[in-house]
Structure 1
Amino acid sequence: MTETRSGGPIGIFDSGYGGLTVMKEIVSVLPEYDYIYLGDNARAPYGPRSFDTVYHYTLECVRWFFEQGCPLVILACNTASAKALRTIQQNDLPNIAPDKRVLGVIRPTAEIIGEYTHSKKIGVLGTRGTVQSDSYLIEINKFFPHVNVFQQACPMWVPIVENQEYDQPGADYFVKKSIGELLQKSDEIDTILLACTHYPLLLPKIIENVPEGMRVIPQGEIVARSLQDYLRRHQEMNKRLNFTTIEGKRSFFTTDSPEDFDRQASVFFGEKVISKHVEVQHF
């Protein structure tokens, strides 16, 4: 590659830290782009909040990304993707930024997850908000109408991860409990989708508690490959992004304490993170 462009960064958003597991995979696949990450940690978690609240919080953050010059924003948050994405795409973008795009994590996952199952029975583990939205049921059915989807909310999993208890014995009870409740819904489930970006940190414990041979699928790599394909198919957007022949820039922001964010974020991202505090509520 010899091309160097001066454009805008790709924005990656989550209510907290979990989106960093998606960003990690995106950067691995597409290291040459610039990225800005924003965690709305001051108002996290989004999972228990109403559709309207999640929509307003997410829109404020999307507007902030646009102010930073991002032509493209990825909602690396299942709750925001489930409760806010469609309204932002259909109602807000045409008015505030018709030339910009906001993408989520649910659709790219739904487009491919049915290819992993032989029994045509998939389990979905997510936050209460994601499960109650039925977004995965609806989207997977569009692409794989013959696949049955069984959902299970795991309300304790995000707090366990964010309190850095994901590798401690205390997490075992809650992981085993939620997986057991999911598998009681069908003994033919052969594939489990982790429909929350926090859950990859619990992956070792999840694998310990599922039957041998069952596939457990995190979203990060799926979303990264989907973004790569999107940019290949949408050259007009690709040309508007900052692209270099070497590794791009990565900037991190939080609506809460940078010190707390940096300490936690390094666990999710896999390398040292230095963030800055930002206010988004005034947008």
Structure 2
Amino acid sequence: MQDSPIGIFDSGYGGLTVFRSIAEQLPEYNYIYLGDNARSPYGDHSFDTIYRYTLECVEWLFAKGCKLVILACNTASAKALRTIQQKDLPTKYPDRRVLGVIRPTAEVIGQYTSTNRVGVMGTRGTVNSQSYLLEINKLFPEITVYQQSCPMWVPLIENNEHLQAGADFFVKEYCNALLQQAGDIDCVLLACTHYPLLLPKLKTVFPDYITILSQGEIVAKSLVDYLIRHPEMETQLGKGGKKAFYTSGDAHAFDEHASNFFGAELKSDQM
């Protein structure tokens, strides 16, 4: 099939911030987005549960014709991607590819720090996996990574409370906890695709000399490079600028919140 859409997967809404950047840089391709809202958030689930949920959704996207799937979810990338790539693809789907968001981010992090002190803010699942610490240290052994889990941020964002005054306590609490680990952190990575919606508040808490990195643009640039390096995949992708959105939860509820992440109104269907 020569008109395969690119699949974009997330446990809920957050991957729409990555999808938005991908669609801006690669508008000509066809896309299918799937949010597993019925089972989100993924952050506090076990490795085995997240692997099972992620594989089910990846296989659903494969059944929709996707040859290339992006896990636009840090928790899924941390806890499921490696097993899918090493176990499932070679035996069951040798012509399919699944990519994540952790490696592309780790590859460029060195460009944004002069002190070699980097902060990573994510869900408990992402932080406990140590994935960013391991990937960054493999590529940049001189960089010290400080991690901070932010368990209240996703619920605040998904309930549209993230810009209200009531969210200030939790924003300051987690940011200050990170900065207390090292005073010379000069780059903070938002290792959850929900967190860019908190940027207005984060910019008021972190000092001006700290660079705050969101993943959307980084992952989009990495995908551009991947397609250049893999023409055998690129030639199979459909081009028509079509976008389809699916959720495992209630489609109406998904549509009500999705525009906050995607930056435009959209219409989804239940998977």
TM-score past 0.5 threshold: yes
Instruction: Summarize the alignment of residues 29-68 of structure 1 with structure 2, pairs less than 5 Å apart.
Output: 29-68=25-64
* Identity value in percent: 62
Q: CA deviation at 1:6?
A: 4.6
Contact 2:2 2:235 in 1 (8 A): no
> 2:37 touches 2:249 (CA, 8 Å); kept in 1?
yes
Q: For residue 91 of structure 1, give the secondary structure of its aligned residue in structure 2.
A: helix
**Which residue does the alignment assign to 1:185?**
181
SS in 1 for 2:182: coil
Matched, 1:134 2:127: no
1:270 to 2:266 alignment: no
AA of the residue aligned to 2:257: Q
Deviations along 1:144-194, whole A, 9 cap, x unmatched? 110000000000000000000111101111000000000000001000000
Which of 232, 237, 244 aligns to 1:251? It is: 244
**Partner residue of 1:220 out of 216, 221, 234:** 216
1:202 aligns with 2:215: no
Say which SS state the counterpart of residue 185 (structure 1) adopts: coil
Deviation at 1:120, TM superposition (A): 0.4
* CA distance 1:137–1:65, change in 2 (3 Å): same
Note the residue ranges of structure 1 that are not aligned, 5 or more in a row: 279-283
Asked if residue 160 in structure 1 is aligned to residue 156 in structure 2, the reply is yes
Report the 3-state secondary structure (helix = DSSP H, G, I; strand = E; otherwise coil) of the residue aligned with 2:161.
Answer: coil
In the aligned structure 2, how far is the partner of 1:227 from the partner of 1:100?
15
Structure 2: distance between partners of 1:229 and 1:68: 25
Match of 1:241 among 225, 237, 240: 237
- Segments of structure 2 that go 5 or more residues without pairing to the other structure are none
DSSP-derived class of the 2:118 partner: strand
Write the distance in 2 (CA, Å) between the matches of 1:189 and 1:267.
Answer: 30
The one-letter code matched in structure 1 to 2:112 is Y
Q: TM-score, normalised by structure 1?
A: 0.95
Aligned residues: 271
Q: TM-score, normalised by structure 2?
A: 0.99
Q: CA deviation at 1:142?
A: 1.2
Q: Aligned AA for 1:86?
A: R
Preserved contact between residue 72 and residue 102 of structure 1 (Cα < 8 Å): yes
Letter of the 2:113 counterpart: T
Residue 95 of structure 1 and its aligned partner are, at CA, apart by: 1.5
Runs of 4+ in 1 over 3 A off after TM superposition: none
**2:94 paired with 1:98:** yes
Assess if the C-alpha contact under 8 Å between 1:109 and 1:219 holds in 2.
yes
State yes or no: 1:148 paired with 2:141. no
Q: AA paired with 1:60?
A: E
1: CA distance, partners of 2:268 / 2:210: 38
